[in-house]
Amino acid sequence: MENQKNLFERSKQLVPGGVHSPVRSFKGLESTPRFMEKAEGAYIQDTEGKSYIDFCMSFGPLILGHKNSKVEKSLQQALKKGWSYGACEPYSLELAEYILSRIPFLDQIRFVNSGTEAVMTALRLARGKTGRDKLLKFNGCYHGHVDSMLIKAGSGLAGTSTASSKGIPKNVAEDTLILDLNDEKALQECFDVHGESIAGVIIEPLPANNGLLIQNPDFLKKINSLCKANGSLLIFDEVISGFRVNFSGMAHDLDITPDIVTYGKVIGGGLPVGAIAATKSVMETLAPVGDVYQAGTLSANPLAMVGGLSTLQQLDEATYKKVDDNALKIEELFNDWFKSYENGKFSHYKIIRYKSLFWFAPNNSNLKSIDDIPQNLTQEFLPLFETLLEKGIYLSPNAYEIGFVSLAHDSEVLKDLERRLYN
């Protein structure tokens, strides 16, 4: 049996940095990435046979847990029929009808292959619908690796920006405005200057990629009102929060109707998927009806459609309550352990939680924007991550990533978690 270190050395020769996504790297850690070969329920197992309670859960899609029996059965049945057609098929219709019949502010949906692709399409759609070029985003929100979204704040006039990655043309950065979260004054000033040029405003209504930065609802409602007043489209990026906080996402919790919503993760039940949804008048700006082009060889892949439908069909009010109850108990368990472990070694931590999403956050902090996050967050997180990994508790190896609770994190798993924490 090849150990983790040897696997990683092999991988580094074949793959940049040894990983297919930077968030999987163990950068700054003494140990190497774990190569996982199987999973079930709330557990994931590496190639050496070590089992971990998983709170990464494939970065969010697995709200029912790994290898949910109903999802597995539906996938097996679909696989027997075929796994890619490159033609129209009934599976996407079933998933679309199920979603649209339950979310009243959406008329149409188009399935793609990832959250990044969904965002890319939503931005192009906003520009095509409005005939404008500028986009507004916020520090602390992540929208995939689309060029126009890999942007950081510049200097000078409110909202100016520069690229945060090499390989992004200067003119792309210039068309993306960027502001800090929870800053209504800067938001108003930006619209005062650029309002007539802004095609769309994109935001995670529950920012969950630079920590869990739960926003003041009034700030989000201010964005919505300014969009309406200026003819800009409001885009809710619910790739993470969609179908996880509840079936209708943060739009429901905030009582805000966005113009466009992007989805991913839960919507495919753990298979590669993304989606864009809006009213018919907006969506029919897309080809072949409209002039905004979008296409994809594997879009609405039948396995992803079947897996997604089987997942969503299990997400009733009782399921959401069970998942949220599991998360509350996990929050309490970790918060108690932070105080007691090795005379309070990790007492400077607390859990910030929104339903089944949680973040290991600095204690005694009011965290609404990335400027509120201590600069030493990663340095402080590494020993905590290593400690939990050794105890068989798996998180994303990044201080800014959040954790996810599933239906499978039940009372038996909670007992095992307590045992692992205190042994």
Nearest to 355 by CA among 396, 391, 406: 406
Count of other CB atoms within 10 angstroms of residue 39: 20
The whole-angstrom separation of Cα 82 and Cα 372 is 50
Phi, psi of 89 (to 5 degrees): -145, 160
Q: Tell me the CA distances in angstroms from 288 to 283, 297, 298, one per residue in order.
A: 11, 15, 17
- Cβ neighbours of residue 341 closer than 8 Å, sequence gap 6 or more: 387, 421
* 52-61: b (≥16 Cβ within 10 Å) or e: bbbbbbebbb
Phi, psi of 3 (to 5 degrees): -80, 170
Give Cα 214 to chain centroid, integer Å.
14
Decide the pairing of beta strands 260-264 and 233-237. Answer: parallel
How many CA atoms within 13 Å lie on the side-chain side of 212? 18
Catalytically annotated residues:
142, 237, 265
Nearest to 393 by CA among 379, 407, 405: 405
Q: To which residue do tokens 């038996």 refer?
A: 412
Nearest to 310 by CA among 345, 254, 351, 266: 266
What distance separates the 2 farthest-apart alpha carbons in the chain? Answer: 64
How many CA atoms within 13 Å lie on the side-chain side of 58? 21
The whole-angstrom separation of Cα 64 and Cα 33 is 25
Nearest to 52 by CA among 69, 70, 34: 34
